[in-house]
Structure 1
């Protein structure tokens, strides 16, 4: 290792990597390492360096950006565009995220507190006493900058995040450990107990000392709020998942027992599968309560199934947990009892279990030798269906309890809170002026924004009270030498490895005459390295495959439910040629994490979401490098080809549905990528190449070749040729979420309604529609729901139609939503309204309102079975027919209106759409919030207007009818 002086680097400002907790009391403690600390870890740099896939100059450019050298050494505009820097963490609320002691220790010696950190030493030139004074001032100043509430004390919601009962604490640790190693954290950070990872791990600080449960949970849910650079991306965690990972990461904090009460804590669960017609329903194994979210939690004094909350009469489960305090050591016998139809269990500690299966004798016993003191205890109860006299009971006797004693008599429960050992740094106004000065003097403000401190002032103070040289002015040979550079009083000091210095020198030398812009293939490499895409994905650079998880990390990548999908199903896919595989819009969506990430359903690791700007640059470069001419050209789509494609995909053809889901319908075998997403995601040319030779596109794939040597089976389909059958498959895939279920596909319950040959009209209860919903299903797999109470079209959707279980099964009365996806919720108000003027508010609808959009008159069917819904508004009778509009990408919907006036009609207004943003397009077409396109067709010369009303933008058309005249118009909804 080099000495600390010989490992200093170009003037650089602090990248204080702070991402969690409540800042606690300051006690400055100088720290130094007996051995040289590791160099800054930049994982993308290491992937390229170890693979030999980049020159020293290219590696050095990456370090100049990732170590943020350009924040002090100002680049030319061309260089600034060429080398984007990593944005430093936002310090405005750092006192709510880091304890005062940790923050002080970190400023004293960042490389000790967080080995491998990109944060340089900025106070290295000060004497110990002066350094302590400076740190105290800076910490006080940072505490004063933002709010300083203790996250564990500030609100009841935050207290709940830090509160974990003892019996659930260990369960939360284990769940968090599994999630940390499964969802993708270990792609960058070290797995627990790992040795010999091929790429250095992104370091974690001493989280136990640094942060609180509340702050770390919030950070995991939205990392970019604190670290806008995007190198720590969001993993799309649910709050419960973030909470479990936080408990695991902070498990070393000393639990604080806040109280002890007699009785139990309870959790109440609803059975997720309540279909009593399923074979073996009543005798299925007990539900995995750790995998379910409780419908209610609380505390109760006894083992009682009458909980203080709303409950089902059956199809539910209970868990009671606490601590069993035994007065003496000895042999104990536990008796568990519950009603005959139920199942129940009793667990003492980690291994003593009594279990009563459903439909068995009411009591079961277990005996064990136990020590005196506290033992975790857990009682569960579940029942399929219902029973007339539900009960559960547990008793014990033995040792100091000669008589059978109810379990609740010796049971209690504790609540604990995890919190760091030190308190928050107290804000102090006397630090404000001096702290602001030091914040600029030592270069902090060049990277981290600060109220009242100009970033230019940070650059000016950064090197020996003189402005840091511009990037182009740096001498490659002298830039990293001391004491000429980075040996001054206010210069940051790095501890670079020899190869890092060599790379930076090469980059500085090459920048003397830089090309104006990177080649697209180099832009791909630079961006993937900056955001460490190589942690999960491989991509071929020249003749070298770079990236992918090393063997130590790879073993943590798993398939959901342990399906046998091999490495192809558990590891993130290689990105060779990915720009020629995915459509441009799909690629951008996947990179930002919005949608179309199809592996999320069977792969436990998650695709993070990256900043839109970086995703846009990467997507453009991938398209430029990988796409082949004609790949986006659509083959012809026809009804005949679509029918042939439907046959080919089913089990009577090529059997694609054996492995592939179709929309909401799972494959009967191993479940993999949903074919309903293929049209939105994939380029037609890439699909053809894949189908012709799967192994050439994806070596090692389990997908078979269906046309060996170009010979086609099924001579009656697709013209009996390979090309014709591939076009037929694409024609079917173009239906998207509207594709029907092929032969051999499991459509689920017998109560799932399928409009096969003719439309279906089904009156039912429906979520977000109401108790008088009219659900309309079409064979084209686009559907609608009309609310006959308020008289409005409420929803349209694609895919599967409706599950009638809520209407027909058991007691019925359950509200279900659409069975498909791609659901479009229409405005909450009616389609038509009689307004006094254009500025009048649109009628609102409430839960119990009736006839807001007119008086409902029923519906009638045409010869094809398609309904027209009729209603009267004033002296106008309106017929509205929701009709399918088939097309590539999935069917859309036409709202066909016919208005018939009586003797004295008043002008009406038609609400075409509403949203946050309405942008006009060609030929009476408007884009709504970038997700919906609305088009108006009529023989009348209509000119709709856009207005701001009731907190949204609304697209309105005024309609005047002469007495006894009629008018027709179509409104097309494309989404």
Structure 2
């Protein structure tokens, strides 16, 4: 989001953004051969600077460069062509180094430009500096490199053409027709800079950022010189963090292929080093449009036109190749052992090389040598070669890795340290923090805007909850944070929770073992919430006004009981720099009248209360606040309130439903004005305060509908919509189920208009968000016997641009979607003029009934 804070000097904003853009620049004293060296985030941030030892850094490179795809890290290689080795030399499974592997190429012919494939295969380090793809042709003459790369590109393009997956729409997840062609680069920039992409990838220098107050640590970093930072162990925190290169995306991808990749990266990259943010198809299209615009042929931020990405969504750049060239490409693909790293839909041979236990790292002709005749060129710099040599030596000497080192290896490989800090390792880069914000920019400090630390997380979170978090199945407990936790691979999901528990010594201790007999204590726990918990936390979606902290309901499924007890007794000792205050100062309770003032017994009571929410009543202060706020809660039947509202004006009629979807109606302009979900309205200002500001929806997902009257008599379908209409509101009556039905007159016609919750989508998909269904009937008034062949048009939707979702659904730029019955949709007309696009439905025979479904 473009955030400009008042009174912030322009220079502050410019230099903050420029610092992020320049984080990937190497230091002047860096190694001269780093320009094309493979970029591995964990290695470059930690091993290169001695924060982890060379052996651990080398093991990371062996995995991320997929060395072990050819060279087994155990004592023997599995392939039939590998040299014999004694089985007793094999390493146990938890000590073996799994290769990251390259992309799956089953659909390479649809996903990548053939021209880019040929160029990349011929010279990967020139085309994409920092790539982990080795150069397999570097020792060959230029002409031969080009011939081989063209052949392999032809083989992949013409034989690897698996279809894109079919993405089905539901009531809660609409999918537009050819969604990849409707991306919004501006919105994509918002996603890139708020969801977490900028934690790993560099930002454009023109991206404005908000001014955030420095934490004590950041303020200290600004004051210390390099020697002092080193002495205090803060050099890592002060250091710039390299960015993972994106390369020339525009030359590689088309809109369709990049959008599909962002929507489901695991399909082509199952290792998920690029994690899955579970983007909607719309978000993926927006992000793809931004990336294709920003990372163009002329580099980040140039904004040049894209020759490689066509509107059709099909990769460009290849002409038809004959069967002989394809056959030659298949032969080279096998001969170069490409299938060791890449899966294809074709049968290809895989050749195993010497196991690492038998490799001579000092040989003058191997992958680690400087020999121009070596078969595989990784463009390694000296630090990387030394680290890999150390790791091979460790394997050959029988060096084993502890559970802590195994866990660190996974966190380094997946770049979890790019966002999270564990002990003194990692965290968001110093010059990237300004992009991490809260929703609404509420000041919650670093604890409220940065991803949570992983120190002791094995003792804090249950393994089941950790598994859900890593697999993307956990409900968000920090909805106030813009950053989004992505989904990781099944291998990570299976191993990391177990390793966290082992490393953090999270012994399996039951609730009863920690708390003993806790029967009947929940009510006392409810009272204890009012000593301060309600000031910062929500309870089953309910909170005091302005409170945006973590929701404490269902805490028993997330938090370990022993950690909960320790944390409440002394928060600062368990979590450094936490904002959580200490309520049991000097071991004494602020409520000595409850449970004999015993802090531990009171903590048990709090646990039992929170664990059972929402079965118990809300804390008293929240209940009292709800009563004082006169919140209207439509239970059983709809509620209708005449009030003032910002969008619906001074003649607003607000209608709330038990289905948690509500709307406001503008009785002056006679139109549907606003809709929202969740909570309804606070009536205090309407009922008691004469000068109260306009009532605001209490819920979420608030959407405004286009202004103006919905009917017009036009001389032709291309006539502009009238700015004003002679319409007269006739009031409303409560129909079936107490749902209001509005009446108005227009140009000799009478119109009835009833709006109620839409139930069709929810019947099909219980997870679908509720929408609205509107039924309008227009007929000549009693004084008018017939409509005299007039055509009255109904404007179903309007906006600066309309996007077709399916044959009977349109969406505007505000996210409002309108669905018409197929019979009406087939007769609808799209009008474009005066900077507006309108979806119009003609009413030719009367009485005429129109049914419209709204979703957003």
State the TM-score bracket (shorter-chain normalisation): 0.5 to 0.7
- CA distance in structure 2 between the aligned counterparts of 1:521 and 1:731, rounded to whole angstroms: 33
- CA distance in structure 2 between the aligned counterparts of 1:72 and 1:479, rounded to whole angstroms: 19
- CA distance in structure 2 between the aligned counterparts of 1:61 and 1:607, rounded to whole angstroms: 26
**Match of 2:383?**
499
**Match of 1:645?**
525
Instruction: Note closer, same or farther for the CA distance 1:480–1:236 as it changes in structure 2 (3 Å cut).
Output: farther
Matched ranges for 1:826-865 at <5 A? none
Matched ranges for 1:773-788 at <5 A? none
**Match of 1:75?**
73
Q: 1:664 is paired with a residue of what secondary structure? A: coil
- CA distance in structure 1 between the aligned counterparts of 2:409 and 2:737, rounded to whole angstroms: 56
Instruction: Note closer, same or farther for the CA distance 1:593–1:824 as it changes in structure 2 (3 Å cut).
Output: same
Q: 2:247 is paired with a residue of what secondary structure? A: coil
- CA distance in structure 2 between the aligned counterparts of 1:486 and 1:230, rounded to whole angstroms: 33
TM-score normalised by the chain length of structure 2: 0.60
Q: 2:422 is paired with a residue of what secondary structure? A: strand
State the structure with more CA Rg. Answer: 1
Matched ranges for 1:156-175 at <5 A? 160-164=178-182, 172-175=184-187
**1:721 is aligned to 2:663:** no
Instruction: Note closer, same or farther for the CA distance 1:254–1:84 as it changes in structure 2 (3 Å cut).
Output: closer
**Match of 1:217?**
259
Note the C-alpha offset of 1:628.
4.6
**1:742 is aligned to 2:742:** no
Match for residue 751 of structure 1 among 633, 654, 657: 633
TM-score normalised by the chain length of structure 1: 0.53
Match for residue 616 of structure 1 among 481, 494, 515: 494
Match for residue 471 of structure 1 among 356, 365, 373: 356
1:141-172 per-position Cα deviation (integer Å, ceiling 9, x unaligned): 00122228899xxxx988733444xxxx7xx2
**Match of 1:184?**
196
Match for residue 584 of structure 1 among 448, 453, 463: 463
Instruction: Note closer, same or farther for the CA distance 1:480–1:588 as it changes in structure 2 (3 Å cut).
Output: farther
Note the C-alpha offset of 1:191.
1.6
Match for residue 149 of structure 2 among 135, 156, 165: 135
Note the C-alpha offset of 1:618.
1.3
Matched ranges for 1:409-420 at <5 A? 417=311
CA contact under 8 A between 1:189 and 1:202: conserved in structure 2? Answer: yes
CA contact under 8 A between 2:48 and 2:383: conserved in structure 1? Answer: no
CA contact under 8 A between 2:536 and 2:549: conserved in structure 1? Answer: yes
CA contact under 8 A between 1:134 and 1:438: conserved in structure 2? Answer: yes
CA contact under 8 A between 1:184 and 1:605: conserved in structure 2? Answer: yes
- CA distance in structure 2 between the aligned counterparts of 1:751 and 1:597, rounded to whole angstroms: 25
**1:566 is aligned to 2:445:** yes
Moved more, 506-515 or 672-681: 506-515
**Match of 2:250?**
208
Q: 1:551 is paired with a residue of what secondary structure? A: coil
**Match of 1:450?**
344
Matched ranges for 1:60-139 at <5 A? 60-76=58-74, 77-78=90-91, 81=94, 82-139=96-153
CA contact under 8 A between 2:518 and 2:604: conserved in structure 1? Answer: no
Instruction: Note closer, same or farther for the CA distance 1:715–1:224 as it changes in structure 2 (3 Å cut).
Output: same
- CA distance in structure 2 between the aligned counterparts of 1:706 and 1:805, rounded to whole angstroms: 54
**Match of 1:57?**
55
Matched ranges for 1:386-535 at <5 A? 417=311, 422-424=316-318, 426=320, 428-457=322-351, 459=352, 468-478=353-363, 487-488=372-373, 491-515=375-399, 518-535=401-418
Instruction: Note closer, same or farther for the CA distance 1:479–1:157 as it changes in structure 2 (3 Å cut).
Output: farther
Instruction: Note closer, same or farther for the CA distance 1:732–1:809 as it changes in structure 2 (3 Å cut).
Output: farther
- CA distance in structure 2 between the aligned counterparts of 1:531 and 1:686, rounded to whole angstroms: 27
- CA distance in structure 1 between the aligned counterparts of 2:476 and 2:735, rounded to whole angstroms: 30
1:324-352 per-position Cα deviation (integer Å, ceiling 9, x unaligned): xxxxxxxxxxxxxxxxxxxxxxxxxxxxx
Instruction: Note closer, same or farther for the CA distance 1:75–1:700 as it changes in structure 2 (3 Å cut).
Output: closer
Instruction: Note closer, same or farther for the CA distance 1:58–1:564 as it changes in structure 2 (3 Å cut).
Output: same
**1:693 is aligned to 2:535:** no
Q: 2:91 is paired with a residue of what secondary structure? A: helix
Unaligned 5+ runs, structure 2 = 1-31, 75-89, 166-173, 208-237, 298-309, 637-656, 662-698, 700-733, 742-753, 760-764, 768-856
Instruction: Note closer, same or farther for the CA distance 1:159–1:429 as it changes in structure 2 (3 Å cut).
Output: farther
Instruction: Note closer, same or farther for the CA distance 1:40–1:80 as it changes in structure 2 (3 Å cut).
Output: farther
CA contact under 8 A between 1:596 and 1:677: conserved in structure 2? Answer: no
CA contact under 8 A between 1:37 and 1:112: conserved in structure 2? Answer: no
1:104-157 per-position Cα deviation (integer Å, ceiling 9, x unaligned): 111121112111000111111222222221111111100122228899xxxx98
- CA distance in structure 2 between the aligned counterparts of 1:683 and 1:215, rounded to whole angstroms: 43
Q: 1:647 is paired with a residue of what secondary structure? A: helix
Q: 2:557 is paired with a residue of what secondary structure? A: helix
CA contact under 8 A between 1:176 and 1:245: conserved in structure 2? Answer: yes
Note the C-alpha offset of 1:669.
2.4
Note the C-alpha offset of 1:646.
1.1
**1:551 is aligned to 2:551:** no
**Match of 2:645?**
none
Matched ranges for 1:137-152 at <5 A? 137-147=151-161
Instruction: Note closer, same or farther for the CA distance 1:530–1:232 as it changes in structure 2 (3 Å cut).
Output: same
- CA distance in structure 2 between the aligned counterparts of 1:456 and 1:557, rounded to whole angstroms: 45
Q: 2:756 is paired with a residue of what secondary structure? A: coil
- CA distance in structure 2 between the aligned counterparts of 1:202 and 1:208, rounded to whole angstroms: 17
Q: 1:132 is paired with a residue of what secondary structure? A: helix
**Match of 2:216?**
none
- CA distance in structure 2 between the aligned counterparts of 1:675 and 1:148, rounded to whole angstroms: 46
1:265-308 per-position Cα deviation (integer Å, ceiling 9, x unaligned): xxxxxxxxxxxxxxxxxxxxxxxxxxxxxxxxxxxxxxxxxxxx
**Match of 2:473?**
594
CA contact under 8 A between 1:440 and 1:446: conserved in structure 2? Answer: no
Instruction: Note closer, same or farther for the CA distance 1:157–1:126 as it changes in structure 2 (3 Å cut).
Output: farther
Match for residue 536 of structure 1 among 419, 429, 432: 419
Instruction: Note closer, same or farther for the CA distance 1:254–1:36 as it changes in structure 2 (3 Å cut).
Output: closer
Q: 1:814 is paired with a residue of what secondary structure? A: strand
CA contact under 8 A between 1:253 and 1:419: conserved in structure 2? Answer: no
**Match of 2:671?**
none
CA RMSD of aligned residues (A): 3.7
**Match of 1:246?**
288
| Bigger helix fraction | 2
Instruction: Note closer, same or farther for the CA distance 1:36–1:627 as it changes in structure 2 (3 Å cut).
Output: closer
- CA distance in structure 1 between the aligned counterparts of 2:568 and 2:73, rounded to whole angstroms: 49
Matched ranges for 1:673-692 at <5 A? 673-692=550-569
Note the C-alpha offset of 1:726.
0.7
Note the C-alpha offset of 1:629.
4.8
CA contact under 8 A between 2:256 and 2:313: conserved in structure 1? Answer: no
Matched ranges for 1:883-962 at <5 A? none
